[in-house]
Every structure is written in structure tokens, then in C-alpha cells.
Chain A
Amino acid sequence: MTSLMTAPSTHRRRRGRAGWWKTATGLLLTTVMLFPVYWMLNVSFTRDQDMRKSPPDWFPVHGTLDGYRAVLDQQLPYLATSLVIGLGTVVLTVALSAPAGYALAKLRPRGGGVIGFLFLVAQMIPGIIMAMGFYAIYLSLGLLQSVPGLIVADSTLAVPFAVLIFTAFMSGIPGELLQAAKTDGAGALRTFWYVVLPMSRNAVVTVSLFAFLWSWSDFVFASTLANGGAHEPITLGIYQYIGNNNQEWNAIMATAVVASLPATVILVLAQRYVAAGVTAGAVKD
């Protein structure tokens, strides 16, 4: 901070030392923040007999894989269901919102603004309200405890976000390009499929990532619409583990670790899409 006031010769050295302090502080803060994540990992490797030890082991010194064995034995069907539902949600979300984004951004229909506004409001509705409405509807349609039903419900978490992302992204595509396609005789559909969509690859990736994550993490819809069915997602798998007054916390935490894998993989492989997705909405530059 004071470096501007000091002589240029000491400038660099001071900054270097201050930089180290900052890195150390940053590491400390990150450690504190991520401690619960570490603790989840630690408990997932802890043996049953050490689980209630006081004080607890800070490192899995007598590590065991029992928890993960339990995951393999009991949780695979749940994980598979979640995977199917997640992928289904991604497909449905992109299929619905990419054309809508194109229309709102480039074709500008009369009344399009109203649709945009409705999606903004739709995002603010608490999930629990949606769940109750869906429950009433699915009950009469016989869609309770079904995979397609859950895919549709989960997609409501992502579609408003997706429409707004696609609209924002596609407004950036130069109009001359679309005009050129038109001059070449391409209709709106061909233009969309061969020009707009390939150019919107980044938006598709961002939308898909979040649609998958939200559907994978969903608990509200799962617990209201899929509870007790043949196909339950992993969030319910964990919930029932806890609910059964299960004392095998290593198995619970091992399931939690496995359930966190998609988020981790996405953060590692696609960090810039994640950051773009988080900030795009709230910041005006």
C-alpha cells in the first residue's frame, strides 16, 4: 500500500514480501473456508469404531474404504438415476431455451419482452411452491415417481436462466452474418441450426453445466415428486441414509463425496464457464 511512496529501488522487494504475506493469508482463508469439505473427506475414510472418538482424528490415520464399499453396494442405482435425470434436463433445457433465445435476441417478436419479464419473475418463485403445484398435477396425471416427470420439474430450475443466457449471448452475434445467410436463401430454421447454434457453443456449454448441476443437486422436487418410487436420485439416497438414523457416517459422507464429484469435475475442467455463469447476471459494467 505504501509502496508508491517509497523509493523505486526498495519498491520491488517490498512488493515481493507483501505478496508472500498475501498468498499466505489467502491460503489460510481458503483452508478455513474449505474445512467442511475436508472434514467430509476425512469422515468418509474414518472407521466406524473411531467415529465417536473424542477428540476426533484430524487425519484419517486408520483410513478405511468401508464407506466407499457401501456406496458401491447401495448407491449405484441412485447415482445412475441422477445421471439420467441430469442429462435429460440438459437436453430439454437447451432444446427449449436456445430457440427462444434466438427469437428474443434476433427476431424480436412483438410481445417478446413480456416473455422475458415472465421468466424473470418465474425465477423468484420458491421451489417449494412449484413442488406443491407439480405434486397436484402429477398426481392426477400419474406422473409421480417417474423419471420424465422429474426431468420436467428439474428443468424449471434452469430454463429461465438458460433463456436469459442464450438471449444475451445471441444478441452478440453480428446481424450481417444472419443477413448473409438469408441472402443465400437460408430460412430462419436453417440459419438457426447452421449459423446461430454453432456460434453459441459457449452459451450451450454454460447452460448445460448449470442445468446438469442444478438437476443433480435438486432435493425439493426429488423429495416431493420421487419419494418412495423405483427411481430415486442420489440426493434422496443421502437423505434416506441420514433419516434411517444411520450411524455409519463414513458411508453417508462417502456418498456425499461421490455426489460432489460432478461439481468438482466441472469446477476443474470448466472454471471459466462457471465464473461467467455466476457473474453475468448481477454485474453491470
Chain B
Amino acid sequence: MNRTTQLPDRRPVRERKGAAATAASPRARTATRRRPRSQQWAAWAFLAPVTVYLALFYAYPLYRNVDLSLRNYTVRSFVQGNAPFTGLQNYRTVFDDPAFGPALMHTVVFTAVCLFFQYAIGLALAVFFNQHFRLSATLRALFLVPWLLPLIVSASTWSWMLNSDSGVVNSALHAFGIDPVNWLTSPSWSLTSVIIANIWIGVPFNLVVLHSGLQSIPRSLYEAAALDGAGAWRRFRHITFPLLRPVSAITLLLGLVYTLKVFDIIWIMTKGGPADSSTTFATWSYRLGFGNLLPAFGPGAAVGNLLVVAALVLGLVYLRVQRKQYAS
């Protein structure tokens, strides 16, 4: 969503439903090609609004963004639209910027650590909630709350909880005799703080998706393994984990895409600071474009485009992974 906010795409559903009907036999597919011409017209009439929309509100902003990154924009030429073409100059500026290395590292660390913990905690909870006990379904539903809250709500709540002087976290640490930590104001802790908040937001998604993956594993397998004397850990290791691999791959890949573009949480909690200690590509791009009095749209767009390229590569990987799974 958003954040991790946004939902996974729906392609599998469509493929799932469509796969049974059409993809199974190539003959069915050629048959649909030979639909009457009037139906082709009708189909495109129904698709026309969304196609125009796609061109106007996805393709054009993207194009504008590429254009921004290739010209030397100032505030004046941004309004007038006559900025000189400078080729890859903006990208060179970005690469040479001393902030580039740290931003890259923070992006990688943020994404990797968030993914690992969201998945691990999500999986543990999914296995736990997959057992039948009273209130299991209700509690699982409650776990969705952090994921549904507006990011600004979660981020500001965490900001106050992590406040150095009056935050409840430091107060709890104090009770255990631990010195207060400057969660948001110390450069060595700020990245950790935003990672904690983001893990909290991402766990529900992993829990729900992995839980529904678990439910498709036949119970008889577990019963057979238990009869053979396999303990809980061995059953998890040799049944749950391997059979969950397709779902895990998709969950992690979607998580990767959404974590890479996390912006709201970091910006609201730390603004990427202090001293750039929690700056990722997403917040850096925003700060270049909108965060200063003198906007640097060109370099901002250049940083953003690096993110787009990463997202596109991941998108292709996603498609490959999925195709492989359907082939198998």
C-alpha cells in the first residue's frame, strides 16, 4: 500500500478461473479469436474508457517523468515548459551526489530487513492461526487492523510511541533498567525505527496471504506424517514449508515491490533524517522534487526513474515466477 499499502495484483485469480476454462486446450483459445467482428467492436467499446485512462493517467505522467529527468528544469522553465535538453546530466548529478551511496544502502537494508521479518512473523502467525481454537478467526481478523489504517495514522502513532522523552517505548525500557533510546532523533536508530513501524504494518498482509495458502495444504498429509511419528517441527519443515513455496514466492515478491516504494512511513516519521540516516530512494526523490524551497525536479525524477526500472524488473520476475508455477 500503500504502502505496502497497495494490494497484490489479481492476476492469479483471473488465471485460475480462466485457466480451467480456456488455457487448458489451445483449441479453445483459437475459437475465441474467431469471434464475430461486431463483438470485437463491442469489446473495445467497453475497454475504450479504461484504455484512454491508462494512456492519460499512467503513460503520460510516466512520460512526463522521463522528460523531467532528461532536462534541466528550474521553477521558471517548469511553468513555461522550455527547459533545455541535457541528456543524462541529471542522472550523473544523482550518481555523483554523496547522498547516493547511503540512500542505496538504506533502501537495500530497509527492504531486506522488512521483508525478512514481515515474512517470518507472518508465517509463524499463519501457522499458529491455522490451528482450530476458539476465537481463532476473530483474532485473525483483528490482525488486519494495522494494515487497514491510513499510513499517516500508523506513522504518527509510532512517532509518539517512540518519542525520546515521553514515548511509551522508552518508558517501558526504563522499567527494565535500559537507558532511553533516541529512536527518531539519533542517526544510528532512525532507520531501525522506521523498519519496526513498517514491519508492523506489513505483517497482517503476510499473515492473511500465507494463512490462505496453508489452508490449501491437505490435512491428510499432516495426519499421515503424524502417524509416521513426525513431530511438529519436522512436519513444518517437510510438509508446510515446501508446499507453501509457491505462495511464499508470490508473497515475498509482492512484498519486495511494495517495500521498495514505501514513502509515507519514512517521510512522516523522520523525513529521511536526521542527517539522511533514514533516506531511501523514495524519500530522496520526494525531497528533491518537493521537499525544498528550490525544487530540483530533474534529479528528483531521475531518482524516481531508477525506482521505476527496479519495479519493472521485479514485475517481469513476478510474471516469470507465476508462469513457471502454472506450468508446473
Which residues of A does B touch, CB under 8 Å?
Answer: 1, 4, 19-20, 22-23, 25-27, 29-30, 33-34, 36-37, 39-40, 43, 51-56, 95-97, 99-100, 102-105, 107-110, 112, 115-130, 132-137, 139-140, 152-153, 155-157, 159-161, 163-165, 167-168, 171-172, 187-189, 192, 210, 213-214, 216-220, 223-224, 235, 238-239, 242, 249, 252-253, 256, 259-260, 263-264, 266-267, 271, 274-275, 277-285
Contacts and interface: CB of A to CB of B under 8 A. Distances in A.
B54 A119 contact: yes
A246 to B, nearest CB: 11
B250 A282 contact: yes
8 contacts: A23-B135, A34-B145, A36-B154, A40-B157, A109-B44, A133-B68, A135-B289, A235-B150
Nearest to B69: A132
Nearest to A21: B133
Contact of A126 (B132, B134, B159, B261): B261
Nearest to A102: B46
Contacts of A105: 14
B327 interface: no
Given A122-B54, A161-B9, A278-B7, A100 B47 contact: yes
A120 B5 contact: no
B151 A219 contact: yes
Given A275-B208, A279-B208, A266 B263 contact: no
Given A4-B227, A134-B61, A278-B208, 11 more contacts: A22-B131, A30-B142, A95-B49, A97-B50, A125-B311, A188-B39, A213-B148, A224-B290, A239-B268, A263-B148, A284-B12
A133 B60 contact: yes
Contacts of B274: none
B42 A188 contact: yes
A36 B269 CA distance: 15
Give the one of A4, A171, A216 with max B CB within 10 A: A171
B34 to A, nearest CB: 11
B314 A124 contact: yes
A277 B43 CA distance: 26
Give the one of B160, B200, B261, B325 with max A CB within 10 A: B160
A31 to B, nearest CB: 10
Contacts of A115: 47, 50-51, 54
Contact of B62 (A20, A129, A168, A218): A129
B27 interface: no
Interface string B140-158: 0111111111111110111
Given A22-B131, A136-B64, A279-B209, A217 B151 contact: yes
Contact of B49 (A100, A122, A282): A100
Contacts of B325: 284
Contact of B301 (A1, A95, A132): A132
Interface of B: 1-2, 5-14, 16-18, 21, 32-33, 35, 39-40, 42-47, 49-51, 53-54, 57-58, 60-65, 68, 78-79, 81, 125, 128-129, 131-136, 139, 141-154, 156-161, 165-166, 168, 171, 174-175, 200, 203, 205, 208-209, 212-213, 216, 223, 226-227, 231-232, 246-247, 250-251, 254, 257, 260-261, 263-264, 268, 282, 285-286, 289-290, 297, 300-301, 304-305, 307-308, 311-312, 314-315, 319, 325-326
Contacts of B319: 117, 120
B64 to A, nearest CB: 4
A121 B61 contact: no
Nearest to B314: A124
Given A4-B227, A121-B312, A27 B135 contact: yes
Given A54-B171, A96-B50, A274-B144, A137 B61 contact: yes
B10 A164 contact: yes
A120 B133 contact: no
Contacts of A135: 289-290
B307 A118 contact: no
A217 B5 contact: yes
Contacts of A121: 312, 315
A278 B50 CA distance: 23
Nearest to A216: B150
A124 B134 CA distance: 39
B12 A281 contact: yes
Give the one of A26, A52, A139 with max B CB within 10 A: A26
Contacts of A171: 14, 17-18, 21
Q: Which 7 A-B pairs have the closest CB atoms?
A: A133-B61, A164-B10, A281-B8, A107-B43, A109-B43, A217-B150, A126-B261
B50 A129 contact: no
A126 B289 contact: no
B146 A120 contact: no
A101 B63 CA distance: 26
A126 B166 CA distance: 34
Contact of B42 (A95, A107, A167): A107
A132 B232 contact: no
Given A108-B43, A115-B50, A132 B297 contact: yes
